[in-house]
A and B are shown apart, each in its own frame.
Chain A
Amino acid sequence: MSLLWSIVPTELVYTNFYEQPPTLVEVQRGGVTMLVSPEQNGMAKMERLISPNPQDYLRKEWQPGTLIHLYEHR
């Protein structure tokens, strides 16, 4: 069970809770998987990194919220 313990009233935290959540797309970059939400102009906002290497979580270009190119340049 998820239990919220906060000074912010629950009704404020959960406003818009039932609105459509962003569609997440799974992409591979440098051998790791990341979940991104597509934005305009072929960019995508990094939402979640999935990697077995803890050092990947310190890479500045892979922090949540960073914009990445949705399509890899070949």
Chain B
Amino acid sequence: MKKNENLQSKNNSFLRYLKKYYWLYLFVLPALIWYVIFHYIPMGGVVIAFKRYSGVRGIWDSPWVGLKWFKSFFSSYYSTTIIRNTIVVSFYSLLTFPLPIMLALVLNELKHKRVKQTLQTIMYAPHFISTVVLVTMLNLFFSKSNGFVNNIIVALGGTAYDFMTKPNVFPHMYVWSGVWENLGWNCIIYVAALAGVDPALHEAAAIDGATRLQRIRHINIPCILPTIVITLILKVGHIMSVGADKVLLMKNDLNADTAQVISTYVYERGLISGDYSYAAAVGLFVNVVNLAMLITVNKISKKVTETSLF
């Protein structure tokens, strides 16, 4: 009897709660439904990596094949090339990671606020350019015939070089155009972190005779270290995913030896050739490696620097 009453009052209070706050649920529901449809259903759809998917039979009625697609990918002669290409481009990009930090440290030393602001605004501009436009610009400027860069090389007595089709140049073109595009933008987060450094630390250090370089080394860098670590963890969490967009635009028949990465391969095998199960398996492999890397790096960082994402 008492239990029943309790339950009833609990029910009543829940109804009262809902009556008061149902709007909050209505606010959040559309976004959640979108996430379920466009993220969680495809996550379930990943089972086709273990099946022989055919459009006619649908996902559930297609027969299971176990690890067949994974095995056939890893035993194929091109899998090592594709994985190597991906890792080369990815690690190379990772190596440019200190550049925005260095730029932020430099910007932080500028005394004229106005000048600093203006320079920064200009540095952001390339970030807003689309990938298509960026690659078109690369093609124009690095074109072998009368491209701006080759004109300079020829004027200086060199011979014109075909930057956009040589496999060995592709990683450089990819990474450094990325640096041009995002360096200014990526340093904002560090500039913001540097703005939070307590000026009293600098004053005290200056009185003790520390040079500006020493102050950067012993005050600024330690202060922004947590920001650096978090950004680095996030970067490593995407180490195996070189975005398909830009590579697809830069890839051509001639540089495919280095420009075929996992994401572009998934696109071509899956969406163009229609080998859905096979491409899904390759995609799943990448996602699992990424997740594992993220968790590992996060753990290491938690131990070593006491900074972590979760």
On whether the two chains bind one another, the answer is no
Interface residues of B, Cβ cutoff 8 Å to A: none
